[in-house]
Structure 1
């Protein structure tokens, strides 16, 4: 496993220029970065910084965000997929993060799941053609994203299996999963091959590892034992200057 700095938040204190955060990450000894939405970012500047530094981009989000569970938004969702895939091509074709959208209170869980599968099958076909992996991310509904349809890792993995595409995988966020009361080993055992990307933030607070109650050595050990060896996004809001924050995160996790 290796760390990937979420430059949405990390290096923001020292580098207001977004692309310079990639250079700052490289100078700090990191070989990978990620960020959130792309349509408010200087894409050409990012491309130049990635090429200049050799830093790997490990993910960014499909945008604009649209609902998987509302068929009225599927056309716009697929348009967002196409636009984001075109942008990803210029940035090394990293995995692209997809969220579910909000629960439709007047519609059954089964119908909403079916709509999500329908939309994701079409999106995965586009991703296969582009040679890009989409990563579906469950988000907690207790602290950060009330009303989000997909908050369960198990349900996300069930949907991924139903879509049945090598280009749709899971983003497992330890913070969101912990907030929802999930047990990492229980939800990922036997399905780690479906996990493309992992993100770390401590709980409570969504700050750097070492500020909350999560047992990070145990978390890392469990992920390794299950067979995960990919990127780990440091996707947290730092409580101290970035370099100190990253040093604490790496010391706490052993990455």
Structure 2
């Protein structure tokens, strides 16, 4: 199950928002485990497509899924979004593949087929 975590809130600290996401995922993880559902939060880029979204980087996502500590909560790694946000997508996926459950692949610019842009 792909989940998005919502927009950043200026009235809350980043730590408070992070903790709220971890708490929510920890709360639903036992139900997901009982029904063999894997929950995959997705970091999205804020530079081009999702201004104001809270979960921007793979590192933030890895911190969240590590803190939740459930085999049924892992990261959705979208190469398009993470290439825009931080680059080094292949290296990141190689180093942290154990925390990645699902991968979306599209090329930068424009979310087109791999090999049509920056990821040729």
Band of TM-score, shorter chain: over 0.9
Q: CA deviation at 1:205?
A: 0.8
Distance 2:25 2:55 in 1: 13
Q: CA deviation at 1:185?
A: 4.5
Distance 1:184 1:207 in 2: 16
Report the counterpart of residue 179 of structure 1 in structure 2: 84
Q: CA deviation at 1:194?
A: 1.1
Please state which structure has a larger fraction of its residues in strand: 1
Report the counterpart of residue 104 of structure 1 in structure 2: 9
- Cα deviation digits, residues 55-90 of structure 1 (max 9, x gap): xxxxxxxxxxxxxxxxxxxxxxxxxxxxxxxxxxxx
Cα pair distance change 1:214/1:185, threshold 3 Å: closer
Q: TM-score, normalised by structure 1?
A: 0.45
Distance 2:95 2:51 in 1: 29
Structure 1, unpaired ranges of 5+: 1-95, 216-255
The runs of at least 4 consecutive aligned structure 1 residues that moved more than 3 Å come to 185-190
Is the Cα contact below 8 Å between 1:154 and 1:187 reproduced in 2? Answer: no
Report the counterpart of residue 63 of structure 2 in structure 1: 158
Q: TM-score, normalised by structure 2?
A: 0.93
- Does residue 38 of structure 2 align to residue 133 of structure 1? yes
State the structure with bigger RCO (CA 8 A, min sep 6), 1 or 2.
2
Among 184, 190, 194, the residue aligned to 2:99: 194
* Aligned residue runs from structure 1 range 16-95, under 5 A: none
Is the Cα contact below 8 Å between 1:175 and 1:202 reproduced in 2? Answer: yes
Q: CA deviation at 1:189?
A: 4.7
Larger Rg: 1
Is the Cα contact below 8 Å between 1:100 and 1:149 reproduced in 2? Answer: yes
RMSD after superposition: 1.3
Is the Cα contact below 8 Å between 2:57 and 2:86 reproduced in 1? Answer: no
